[in-house]
Amino acid sequence: MNNYLHFINKLLATGLFIGKIPGAPGTYGSILAVFIILFFPLVTNVFFIIPFIIIATGISYYEELITGVKDAPEIVIDEIAGILVTFVFIDLNFKIIFVGFILFRFFDIYKPFIIDKVQELPYGIGIMADDLLAGFFSWIILNIIIIIF
């Protein structure tokens, strides 16, 4: 692949280079995802999310091949996908988005249950799988909170 395509892949994998900001790239990528949802709420539609996950997995895998680093912190397209999963089929407002964001970051950082184990999967799947599971667990708890309150 030529340098132009390498650049485009890195641009997408790092969330428009948000993931290259020092400090907490996963949190920055998650914040970017929240802004994307605020401006384009249809991205939480399952018909958008499924193709996005497939494409993001390919982008992640290619970035892993280019850099030689397994699940580099600068790759944040997986956090974006995880946040989208957190809010699928949910009526959004600022309170819900805030709670969902906090839940997602908790599961993404601490990786309880099987979330930690799936990172070892090959071909970009491991990069994506832990964040998708974090999003799924966040979605479950967020729905429980919505029902209770």
Query: What is the tens place of the pLDDT at every residue in 55-67?
Result: 999 999 999 999 9
d(CA 42, CA 38): 9
Residue 77, token pair as written in the block: 């397209």
Asked whether 139 and 88 are in contact (CB, 8 A), the reply is yes
Predicted pLDDT at 44:
96
Which residues lie below 8 Å from residue 111, measured CB to CB, with a gap of 6+? Answer: 119, 130, 134
114-148 residue pLDDT tens: 999 999 899 899 999 999 999 999 999 999 999 99
Helix (H), strand (E), coil (C) string for 65-78: HHHCCCCCCCCCHH
Confidence of residue 33 (pLDDT cuts 50, 70, 90): very high
- pLDDT, the chain, mean: 96
- For the chain, what are the domain ranges? 3-143
Answer yes or no: is pLDDT of 40 > 80: yes
Tell whether pTM > 0.85: yes
Instruction: Provide the pLDDT for residue 2.
Output: 85
Alpha helices in 14-45 (DSSP H): 25-39
